Amino acid sequence: MPDQNTTFDAIVIGSGISGGWAAKELCEQGLKTLVLERGRDVKHLKDYPTANMRPWEFKHRGWMDRQFREENPLITKAAGFGEDTAHFFIKDADHPYVQEKPFDWIRGYQVGGKSIIWGRACQRWSNHEFAAPQKMGYGIDWPIRYDDVAPWYSHVEKFIGVCGNKDGIEAMPDGEFLPPFDMNCVEKDIKQRLLDHYGNRHVVQGRWAQLSQPTELHLQQGRGKCMARNMCMRGCPFGGYFSSVSSTLPWAENTGNLTVRPFSVVHSILYDEKTGKASGVRVIDTNTREEFEYSARVIFLNASALNSTLILLNSRSDRFPNGLGNDSGVLGKYVAFHNYRGWAGGDIDGYLDTYFYGRNPTELILANYRNLGKQDTDFVGGYTIFMGAYRSRNGEAPPGVSIGAAYKEARSVPGNWAVYMYMQGETIPKETNRVYLSPDKKDQWGIPLLVTDVGYDDNDEKMVTDFLTQAREMLEVAGCSNIHTNDSQQAPGLDIHEMGGARMGRDPATSMLNEWNQLHHCKNVFVTDGACMTSTGNQSPSILYMALTARAATYAVEQVKSGIL
């Protein structure tokens, strides 16, 4: 049955990283807010069934069986997917889409969305990333700059808890940090060797959404210290990492202003021709297939980049026959992602008298050193490198011994040290990289399927080549041997950082959203998830979504209270 109340001050579509933040800010500032989630309900602690399970308690020791892998070739490729986390991902058949080009669309449909299973890296963008597309001629100009977002970065960091160190690096501005997780002995040496050799290549502790040392604000949220289990994607019983189900949604609920409706697929946003604004949202109950309408003065679209784009494309009216707000014709275009294809690794001798303890949930970051302020390569954009050093346990058991105390003791002997690196590269938003609605295929709720037509280009190939060359050289400088590099050739999408489709911009003729994440042509609709991105930058994007959401929500509340919206 629908909720008795169908009229709210605000509606938020999606309950993940950005949707949770929209709910928190809108509720905290007094707006009665409805959050719509297409998936099932998930409650912190209650709905983490594998959080404390030991490896031997899983039927397949964490792996999926052959039949599941054959039936789900897409989702089983996703980072973090396994027997312990499968319940937070959707199976391939649950929501099909059409791939005009190979594209791995990873989704998590539940209250909390992918905030439960995200990677948790939280680097700030530098001003270079906001300015570079227009300055270097590979995109339109962002309508904002770093200074516009900086106070909102701080607002978000203080609330979610981000560990890190103030490193003073131009490419990756400092933030409001909790103490970082320390480097191990090999990582400390590599950091110094690379800095001594290059002068401008900075390896730093990971800036991660982990509560290394909770503040009073985090304790008020009911969250506690990260225990370095590195089992975050199961859901953390300590609340040691940020997710919307452990943090923003409960905080919003405590205001008394929040209503959450799971099992609610949004069909479209309704447009009122008389007022020139959106009047509400059409919803299909996933269980009963009944259709309901909810109305609100403000709508925040946070369904994730491609689903938000799908909803806008399907929100057709006489005024907007090609999708809500789509006078420019750019809706669904300029979709981009992060390039993760390059990997490298090697062995490193020595350090055999030292080990490390705990499972560090963060990684090291080698800050971008390419095309900072000026183009210095044969490609545009830059890349962040994630890296680390580890020591495996690979002692050899005595001949013929395969069980018992002697076997376990032998196998517990630490092996040698190794080092790894992988890239997170910027890609160019292009008109030809697009998504659109299938003209003849629909999902189980009668909504057109999304068609993905997104691929790599020559700039991406040059960036991968540069990373592989530089990674090999840096590993040599670090003292590694047996160095190997690899181009995975993975399809776009597996990075789970899809962006664009309803981009921000200064000119309504070439963009969908203004500097406040409002639709240029429908001012009471805000899009603050990955769909809003004008370019991808090279930093992990989730904390920027959160900052943009908090900024836009505060602006929206001001507009509502002043009577403009």
pLDDT tens digits, one per residue of 104-131: 999 999 999 999 999 999 999 999 999 9
Core vs surface per residue 26-49: b (16+ CB within 10 A) or e:
bbbbebbbbbbbbbebbebeebbe
Residue ranges of the alpha helices (H) in 347-457? 405-411
Last residue of a domain, one of 464, 491, 518: 491
**pLDDT band at 395; cut points 50, 70, 90:** low
Between strands 518-519 and 277-285, the pairing is unpaired
Across residues 259-270, what is the average pLDDT? 98
Same domain, 261 and 250: yes
The reply to whether 538 and 460 lie within a common domain is no
The DSSP code for 91 is -
Report the pLDDT value the prediction gives residue 498, as an integer from 0 to 100. 98
**pLDDT reported for residue 432:** 98
For 255, list phi and psi in degrees, rounded to 5: -75, -20
- Joined tokens for residue 387: 């890296």
CB count within 10 Å of CB 564 equals 10
Q: What is the mean pLDDT of residues 540-552?
A: 98
Domain residues for 480?
A: 181-203+341-425+456-491
Whether residue 192 sits in one domain with residue 263: no
Give 237's contacts (C-beta < 8 A, 6+ positions apart): 45, 48, 51, 52
Does 275 reside within a domain? Answer: yes
pLDDT in tens, 422-474: 999 999 999 999 999 999 999 999 999 999 999 999 999 999 999 999 999 99
State percent of the chain over pLDDT 90.
Answer: 93
Write down which residue in 468, 491, 514 finishes a domain.
Answer: 491
Task: Say how many Å lie between the first and final Cα of the chain, rounded.
Answer: 30
The region of weakest confidence among 45-49, 165-169, 220-224, 400-404 is 400-404
What are the Cα distances from residue 202, in Å, to 122, 168, 510? 17, 10, 37
Backbone angles phi, psi at 415, to 5 degrees: -95, -150
pLDDT of residue 3: 55
Q: Is the residue at 345 inside a domain?
A: yes
Which carries the bigger pLDDT value, residue 145 or residue 398?
145
pLDDT over threshold 80, residue 4: no
Asked if 450 and 460 sit in the same domain, the reply is no
Cβ-count burial 387-426 (b if 16+ within 10 Å, e if not): bbbebeeeeebeeeeeeeeeeeeeeeeeeebbbbbbbbbb
**418 and 549 housed in the same domain:** no
Shared domain for 361 and 484, answered yes or no, is: yes
b (16+ CB within 10 A) / e for 536-554: bbbbbbbbbbbbbbbbbbb
For residues 14-32, average pLDDT: 98
User: What per-residue confidence (pLDDT) applies to 403?
Assistant: 76
282 and 379 together in one domain? no
Query: What average pLDDT does this structure show over 136-143?
Result: 96
* 506 in the same domain as 419: no
User: Is 131 part of any domain?
Assistant: no
Which tokens is 131 given?
A: 């300015």
Backbone angles phi, psi at 435, to 5 degrees: -130, 150
Tokens encoding 442: 């629909």
Q: Answer yes or no: is pLDDT of 146 > 90.
A: yes
Looking at residues 161-168, what average pLDDT do you find? 97
Q: Which two tokens stand for residue 355?
A: 């080990």
Domain tally for the chain?
2
**Residue 154 domain-assigned (yes or no):** no
- Domain co-membership, 356 together with 418: yes
CA angle 524, 527, 528 (to 5 degrees): 130
Q: Look at residue 192 and tell me if it is in a domain.
A: yes
Taking the CA atoms of the chain, what radius of gyration do you get in angstroms? 24
Does residue 441 share a domain with residue 333? yes
pLDDT tens per residue across span 266-317: 999 999 999 999 999 999 999 999 999 999 999 999 999 999 999 999 999 9
Q: Residue 398 pLDDT more than 90?
A: no
Mean pLDDT, the chain, rounded, equals 96
Task: Assess if residue 281 is contained within a domain.
Answer: yes
The pLDDT tens digits of the residues spanning 153-164 come to: 999 999 999 999
What is the average per-residue pLDDT within 56-82? Answer: 94
Q: Which amino acid is at 322?
A: N
For residues 373 and 502, state if they share a domain: no
Query: Band of the pLDDT at 1, cuts 50, 70, 90?
Result: very low
For residue 281, give the CATH number of its domain. Answer: 3.50.50.60
Q: Pick the last residue of a domain from 491, 514, 537.
A: 491
Percentage of the chain modeled with pLDDT above 70: 98
Cα 13 to chain centroid distance, Å, stands at: 17
- If asked whether residues 371 and 514 sit together in one domain, one would say no
Q: Can you give the pLDDT at residue 420?
A: 98
Structural domain includes residue 155? no
Q: Residue 360 domain-assigned?
A: yes
For 508-517, write each residue's pLDDT tens digit.
Answer: 999 999 999 9
The CA angle 36-41-44, to the nearest 5 degrees, is 115
